[in-house]
Amino acid sequence: MTVQLIAMQLFSGLALGAVLIMVALGLSIIFGMLGIVNFAHGALFMVGAYAGLYVAGLTGSFWWALLIAPVMIGLFGMLIERFLIRPLYGRSPDDPLLLTFGLGYVLVEAVRILFGTDGIPFSTPAALRGMVNLGIGFFPLYRLFVIGVVVAVLLLLWIGLEKTKFGLIVRAGSADPLIMRVLGVDISRLWLVVFGIGVGITALGGVLAAPMRNVSPEMGTLVLAEAFVVTVIGGMGSLPGAVIAGLIVGVSVSMTSLFAPEMATIVMFALMAFILLVRPNGLYGRAASGL
Amino acid sequence: MTNGIETLASRPIGRRAALIGLAGVAGTLSMPWIARAQAETIRIGFPTPLTGPFAAEANDQVRSAQLAVKLANDKGGIAGRKVELLVRDDKLNAGEAATRTLELIEKDKVHAVVGALSSAVQLAVNEVTRARSMLYISISQSDTINEKDFSPYTFHEALNPTMTTAVVARHSFKKGSKVAYLVADYAYGHEMLRGFKRAAKEIGAQTVSEILHPFGAADYSTFIPTILSSGADILCICNFGRDQANSIKQAVDFGVKDQMKIVVPVLLHNQRLAVDPEVFEGVTGGANYYWGLEETMPSAKSFNDAFRAMYKGTIPTDYGAYGYTGVASLLMAIEKAGGTEPQKVIAALEALKYDIAKGEQSYRKCDHQSMQSVLVLESKAKKAMKSDADLFKIVAAEPASESVLRTCSELGFKS
């Protein structure tokens, strides 16, 4: 076992972490701002990949798919919020959870009916094929591109939430919706937009994953589990938490792959159990007040 | 009934009695099974995972099995009886499969069971049929079904890992080859790995790395640095279904194919269709069936033609063909036995020689393994494909031979 191999393994882990952050972001945003545990997250991720496939088929371009599919599915998410989730606000937090859980099944079946049960090819865009020499070894250009997109999305989110008036209102709204309403802010419109953004980012994750993992109706199942692990370790609803947790999980999976590969999936759940024991609210979690 | 007519005739018939009599006659006419009890329909139970990740392969199995049933009924049935296929969804779950099989036996009174697609689910079905002395033609890869799970009522129509890997290794490993294995961590992967290592030892190939990956893993990137640094010239990937397409795609993304050849135990038709041709290009693996066999084999041609005629010009796939050969060989034996009496059918199956899709086949007496041709396929480059279905080149079609199986005594049988 050479230093080079360990360095390469470490890098693979960080790269995997970036993918996991992308996978978890949508779930984390929707929970953090709206307090909704979105169990349809995995299904929406999958629907995003299929929407990407559809747009790429129509336009012949991956880039259009990357732009249009998340917007399409984000708008679809707004419809879900407006007509399915909004009537449930003010009721027990279990209600939206059960609703999204069922919605996930409906979406998977709908995709099976529309696109069939078989996996469908999704090519890596020509401009992003091939490998890059990192000095410690070669790494696929496409995966480096995904890391770049994740960094860009995180930056945009941070600027949007911390540096704009909109972000200020969203943060205030999530802290105390009642006061915001009294101050004359239309909270329901705000939540509609936030839910749409969360779902759109989830769909973007699906499109980005499509050239790496296969596109199939079941591709969201494992994604839901991965996203939960990252969100729970980071602390439900914390963006910096999701970033740190994604990287930690990625590196743990990668290092386990080197020494005990058959444990590579189980390690993330073991890690989650451990974090829950020592820090029940996750690394960056607030105490669960009011939820 | 005759008794009734006599008593009716001996006295004047009232209007009410006449009506009752007419109703009785009409009732008998509408219940033909009373009149033709001896020509009972032959019912074949068919559990298979219609839903879940192997749904594509399962639906192909059902279509092929239905073809075998249709062909039998078209020529007037088997031993003068009609044949019916009772398809059940086992949901790729051993418990579900056992329940469905039990139901098929107890409630639907089937005469035989054919089916299952996953090796673990197949063993659950086998346990139920074995306990109830029910004929079972199993159509999924397994070695243990020939050894510790053996049942005199079970016949194994699918290839087994020993013969698959023996033939694939013969055409892809060389003396001195350095092989790295990426193996799904469950029964199927373990049995394939064992078979490959057995074959590699005989050939003189050497194992340089052995990685077990979790079943259904989504990301393989973290296994790849170890594979690349192992110095292997062959990467042997032993997994099934979506895992196959996913792991090969990611290995190719990381440039594994530039350094080594990728070999798989079974090259899956549907998984090849799930990715672009250049991903699988050059990947070598085994198969029980490929439609392209029709160029050299008349029985494959007639199977394909019958399938095309029934299903709008589509072609049968590898795991689909098992549904056909499994049901068809069973029906041939029932015909020879003159009925569904299990002991007679077992004797007929043991003596059966059949060529219905892929050359000469017969069930070995000691372990009931179907001795059959094993194909070695290589995935074609896009420019070499003549049509969308022209996926593979047939590298070798090894005819049925006992030499690729473990001997009967090795398996613990007397003869």
pLDDT tens track for A46-61: 999 999 999 999 999 9
Does residue B62 sit at the A interface (CB-CB below 8 Å)? no
**Amino acid found at B155:** F
Q: What is the CA radius of gyration of chain A?
A: 19
Asked if the model's pLDDT at residue B16 lies above 90, the reply is no
Say if residue B108 is in the same domain as residue B54.
Answer: yes
Say if residue B381 is in the same domain as residue B249.
Answer: yes
Determine the distance in angstroms separating the CA of B55 from the nearest CA of chain A, rounded to an integer. Answer: 7
B223 chain-A contacts, CB cut-off 8 A: 257, 261, 264
Say if residue B225 is in the same domain as residue B362.
Answer: no
Say if residue B123 is in the same domain as residue B198.
Answer: no
β-pair type (B361-363, B353-354): antiparallel
Residue A260 CA to chain centroid, in angstroms? 27
Confidence of residue A177 (pLDDT cuts 50, 70, 90): confident
Confidence of residue B86 (pLDDT cuts 50, 70, 90): very high
Q: Is residue B2 part of a domain?
A: no
Asked if the model's pLDDT at residue A116 lies above 90, the reply is no
Burial class (CB in 10 A: 0-12, 13-18, 19+), B120: middle
Is there a contact between A70 and A26 (Cβ–Cβ < 8 Å)? no
Is there a contact between A136 and A4 (Cβ–Cβ < 8 Å)? yes
Nearest CA in chain B to A129: B253
Q: Taking Cα atoms as reference points, which of A9, A10, A28, A8 lies closest to residue A20?
A: A28
- Counted across chains A and B, CB pairs separated by less than 8 A come out at 107
Does residue B186 sit at the A interface (CB-CB below 8 Å)? no
Asked if the model's pLDDT at residue B34 lies above 50, the reply is no
ipTM: 0.89
Say if residue B276 is in the same domain as residue B380.
Answer: yes
Determine the distance in angstroms separating the CA of A204 from the nearest CA of chain B, rounded to an integer. Answer: 17
Q: Taking Cα atoms as reference points, which of B350, B349, B373, B342 lies closest to residue B360?
A: B373
Backbone angle region of B313, left / alpha / beta, with phi > 0 → left and psi within -120 to 50 → alpha: left
Q: What is the per-residue pLDDT across A178-216, written as a single tens digit (0 to 9) for each? A: 888 888 888 888 899 999 999 999 999 999 999 998 899
Q: Is residue B61 part of a domain?
A: yes
Q: What is the per-residue pLDDT across A132-170, written as a single tens digit (0 to 9) for each? A: 998 888 999 999 999 999 999 999 999 998 899 989 988
Q: Closest partner residue to A118 among B219, B221, B270, by Cβ?
A: B270
Please enumerate in sequence order all residues whose Cβ is within 8 A of that of B35, keeping only pairs 6 or more positions apart, or say none. Answer: B28
Confidence at residue B141, expressed as pLDDT on a 0 to 100 scale: 93
Taking the CA atoms of residue A153, residue A154, residue A158 and residue A160 in that order, the dihedral angle to the nearest 10 degrees is 10
Does residue B272 sit at the A interface (CB-CB below 8 Å)? no
Q: What is the CATH number of the domain that holds B205?
A: 3.40.50.2300
Q: Whole-number mean pLDDT of chain B? A: 90
Confidence at residue B227, expressed as pLDDT on a 0 to 100 scale: 95
Asked if the model's pLDDT at residue A119 lies above 90, the reply is no
Task: Find residue B392's DSSP bridge partners.
Answer: B379
Asked if the model's pLDDT at residue B177 lies above 70, the reply is yes
Residue A75 CA to chain centroid, in angstroms? 17
The domain in which residue B389 lies consists of: 162-287+375-403
Please enumerate in sequence order all residues whose Cβ is within 8 A of that of B386, keeping only pairs 6 or more positions apart, or say none. Answer: none
* All structural domains of chain A with their residue ranges: 28-217, 220-291
Say if residue B120 is in the same domain as residue B135.
Answer: yes
Q: Is A34 helix (H, G, I), strand (E, B) or coil?
A: helix
Confidence at residue A286, expressed as pLDDT on a 0 to 100 scale: 67
Asked if the model's pLDDT at residue B297 lies above 70, the reply is yes
Confidence at residue A236, expressed as pLDDT on a 0 to 100 scale: 84
Say if residue B251 is in the same domain as residue B324.
Answer: no
Sheet of strand B206-213, all strands in order from the earlier edge strand to the far edge: B206-213, B178-184, B234-238, B261-266, B284-287, B374-379, B392-398
Confidence at residue B35, expressed as pLDDT on a 0 to 100 scale: 44
The proportion of chain A whose per-residue pLDDT surpasses 70, expressed as a percent, equals 98
Confidence of residue A1 (pLDDT cuts 50, 70, 90): low
Q: Where are the alpha helices (DSSP H) in B42-186?
A: 55-74, 94-106, 119-131, 161-172
Determine the distance in angstroms separating the CA of B86 from the nearest CA of chain A, rounded to an integer. Answer: 22
Taking an 8 Å cut-off on Cβ atoms, the answer to whether A213 and B56 are in contact is: no
Say if residue B68 is in the same domain as residue B211.
Answer: no
Q: Is residue B28 part of a domain?
A: no
Nearest CA in chain B to A219: B218
Q: Is residue B411 part of a domain?
A: no
Does residue B223 sit at the A interface (CB-CB below 8 Å)? yes
Say if residue B240 is in the same domain as residue B298.
Answer: no
Determine the distance in angstroms separating the CA of A8 from the nearest CA of chain B, rounded to an integer. Answer: 7
Does residue B395 sit at the A interface (CB-CB below 8 Å)? no
Confidence at residue B207, expressed as pLDDT on a 0 to 100 scale: 96
Asked if the model's pLDDT at residue B36 lies above 50, the reply is no
Q: What is the per-residue pLDDT across B256-289, written as a single tens digit (0 to 9) for each? A: 999 999 999 999 999 999 999 999 999 999 999 9
Q: How many domains does chain B have?
A: 2
Average pLDDT over residues B309-325: 95
Test mutation, B57, B221, B271, chain A, max A CBs within 10 A? B221
Say if residue B253 is in the same domain as residue B168.
Answer: yes
DSSP notation for B310-350:
HTTT----HHHHHHHHHHHHHHHHHHHHTS--HHHHHHHHH
Q: Is residue B168 part of a domain?
A: yes
Say if residue B77 is in the same domain as residue B94.
Answer: yes
> For chain A, how long is the longest CA-to-CA vector?
63
B275 chain-A contacts, CB cut-off 8 A: 119, 121, 214
Confidence at residue B7, expressed as pLDDT on a 0 to 100 scale: 44
Confidence of residue B38 (pLDDT cuts 50, 70, 90): low
Say if residue B232 is in the same domain as residue B315.
Answer: no
